[in-house]
Amino acid sequence: MTASDPHSYRDPAQPSIRHIEFDFTFDFRNRTTHGRARYSLDRPSDGRLFLDTHAIQIRRAQTGETPVPWSLGEADPILGQRLALQFPPGTAEFEIDFQLPPTARALQWMDASQTAGGRHPFMYSQCQAIHARSLFPCQDTPAVRFTYRARLHVPKPLVGLMAAAPEGQSTQGDLGVFSFHMPQPIPSYLFGLAVGDLTWRDISARCRIYAEPPLIEAAAWEFAETEQMLQIAEGLYGPYLWDRYDLLMLPRSFPYGGMENPRLTFANAIFLTGDRADTSLVAHELAHSWTGNLVTNASWEDFWLNEGWTTYAEFRICERLYGREYVELAAVRDRNLLFEDYERFRPTPQYTQLKFPMQGVDPEETFSRVPYYKGLFLLMLIEQSVGRETFDAFIHGYILDHAFRSLTTEQFLDYLRHNLPQAFDRVAIEEWIYQPGYPADGPVFRSRAFEAVEVAAAAFIADGRLTQAQLAGWSPDQIVLFLQQMPETLPPAACRQLDRVLDMPHCQRFVTQSLFYSLAIRSGYRAVWPRAEALLLASGSRLSLMRLFRAVAQAPWTRSKARALYERARRGYHPLTQQEIERLLVEEGL
Ligand SMILES: [Zn+2]
């Protein structure tokens, strides 16, 4: 299929990359990377081949012993530079030697002091959406899939890890050499690697958790249900096709909750809360093994196909594991989070469409919960309208018919029209996808647990009444919902009471912390400042972090502190988080 991707220089008329053999050497002292990649194409090329690059220094390109002439185009702030290679007739294999700067957008380098162990540095990659091109020249579009082998050269005693099958390790002088093989074809955005002081625990025959030594026990306990979740997902979607499902715990500065790199989900250590409140993260990431990694959005304009379907599967897995009440409450929570983004996108309502044109738009700038939760609610609505049994049969066929392929929203709609036409009679599907806002037929969720929250929140807002006894037996999500029910601001005395009753000084859950401290800052409850500041300095996944940073940048009493706080925190933030906070500070005139 040849749908064009607005975020790639790839020319669909040219051959596609089919396999790559990588060699990477990581220099932790200078934070530079030397790479060599040998490419195989799906058919011989007689002419030019365009690849995506971002700030990569090309040293040499050749086919066999013959040098390949190359040129780099003008640098576009979003897309980077087009690398044009000029091949002799019949070229199907070629090699590129390159160097990456310390600022390579896909990599975060961390000092020992920024890790949980504090003894060794750490580095990891994040390629989604369009950052693989800063790690190696490639056709950086989800429409192209390739297999690969890779060798990572890392300083001893660090461990190299990839979202691929390990193929042994050796040493070369003072370097450890770790080899990997990825036999299933992946799009470039699912390329993932990490280097650090890592250890592991097996939690089943095919699930292992990797983490820094001080985190390993907590991580193995927190995510002990992973194998069970995998089995539920197989019931929903069909057999798991990636052999192993392992998890890697990343530092709190990771800009996302998790990233579904195949075989090895990258998960933020912020979710080690000690009460399994956020295990739905793993249900989500492992569901991507089907929706996203197997059936892939053709471009970032179709991102909701990855995220909407995966969030739907996450809910189905959690329903089987934790019951209907749990997911009804989570649906109310997530609808509130969705509306928070609608509020943020008030000046750009097109970003609340499931699909909108992204020519000239940075996918990082539009990253939000819309593809996740608006996509989820559309799929829930379709399920409700046709019945679960019918919908499940459709899902099985959908996965089977598109495995290891990419598709556009329009191809999905054609498939839906063909295989589930009755869905269109009952749901305004095109309005859900192509119109901003939240359609009137959106699903309504009720839950007894939520009603208890509503009653308590209304009483508290009316007369400030709230006791610990009222909260006895509440789930962590009920606390989140309670905070979401609060008005924009409260009297500082009410914040103080919430602080005490919710026992915020001991709260470990980042979404709860972010909601409470944002409310407290907007309300001028000054006692929270040292804790809010410490939380921002410890950083965390991007959407919750941005909520809190926005409150600091907007509240009259904290506004003047925002820039200085950012300067102190910046070094610990991921480059994507830095970029987003810098944009926020400019917007706020700071
Ligand atoms: Zn996802």
Residue range 93-130, pLDDT digits in tens = 999 999 999 999 999 999 998 899 999 999 999 999 99
Helix residue spans in 182-273 (DSSP H) = 216-222, 226-237
CA of 517 to the centre of ligand 1 (A): 26
Q: Phi and psi at residue 261, in whole multiples of 5°? A: -55, 130
CA of 469 to the centre of ligand 1 (A): 37
pLDDT at 447: 85
CA of 370 to the centre of ligand 1 (A): 12
Closest C-alpha to 370, from 409, 330, 342: 342
Helix residue spans in 354-428 (DSSP H) = 375-386, 388-402, 409-419, 422-426
- Give the span between the Cα atoms of 580 and 24, in whole angstroms: 29
CA of 388 to the centre of ligand 1 (A): 22
- Residues 532-568 pLDDT 10s: 999 999 888 888 999 999 999 999 999 999 999 999 9
CA of 260 to the centre of ligand 1 (A): 7
**Which of 39-43, 300-304, 322-326 has the least mean pLDDT?**
322-326
Helix residue spans in 142-273 (DSSP H) = 216-222, 226-237
Closest C-alpha to 292, from 225, 226, 372, 369: 372
The mean per-residue pLDDT over the stretch 324-330 comes to: 94
The mean per-residue pLDDT over the stretch 364-379 comes to: 96
Which residues crowd ion ligand 1, with CB under 5 Å?
307, 310
Pair 433, 353: CB distance under 8 Å:
yes
**% of the chain exceeding 70 in pLDDT:** 99
pLDDT at 306: 98
The mean per-residue pLDDT over the stretch 306-335 comes to: 96
494 token code pair: 């009410």
CA of 326 to the centre of ligand 1 (A): 20
CA of 268 to the centre of ligand 1 (A): 13
CA of 540 to the centre of ligand 1 (A): 17
**Strand, coil or helix: 206:** coil
pLDDT at 12: 95
Strand arrangement of the beta sheet that strand 107-110 belongs to: 107-110, 122-125, 193-196, 159-162
In the numeric block, the tokens 């191809």 are attached to 411
Q: Tell me the sheet residues that pair with 556.
A: none
CA of 275 to the centre of ligand 1 (A): 22
pLDDT at 422 over 70: yes
pTM of this prediction? 0.95
- Residues 180-212 pLDDT 10s: 999 999 999 999 999 999 999 999 999 999 999
- Residues 215-234 pLDDT 10s: 999 999 999 999 999 999 99
CA of 265 to the centre of ligand 1 (A): 11
CA of 309 to the centre of ligand 1 (A): 9
**Helical (H) or strand (E) element with 287:** helix 280-287
The mean per-residue pLDDT over the stretch 134-150 comes to: 98
CA of 4 to the centre of ligand 1 (A): 23
pLDDT at 315 over 80: yes
In the numeric block, the tokens 């800009």 are attached to 255
- Give the span between the Cα atoms of 72 and 163, in whole angstroms: 30
**% of the chain exceeding 90 in pLDDT:** 94
Closest C-alpha to 314, from 333, 340, 341, 336: 333
Q: What is the signed CA dihedral for 300, 160, 544, 511, rounded to 10 degrees?
A: 120
CA of 258 to the centre of ligand 1 (A): 8
pLDDT at 172 over 80: yes
Instruction: Give the distance between the most distant pair of CA atoms in the chain.
Output: 81
| Type of residue numbered 257 | G
pLDDT at 3: 53
Closest C-alpha to 51, from 72, 25, 27: 72
CA of 587 to the centre of ligand 1 (A): 28
Catalytic center residues: 285, 372
pLDDT at 35 over 60: yes
pLDDT at 65: 96
pLDDT at 444: 84
- Residues 249-283 pLDDT 10s: 999 989 999 999 999 999 999 999 999 999 999 99
pLDDT at 4: 82
CA of 56 to the centre of ligand 1 (A): 28
pLDDT at 2 over 60: no
Band (pLDDT 50/70/90 cuts) for residue 1 is very low
pLDDT at 440: 93
CA of 259 to the centre of ligand 1 (A): 7
- Give the span between the Cα atoms of 26 and 155, in whole angstroms: 8
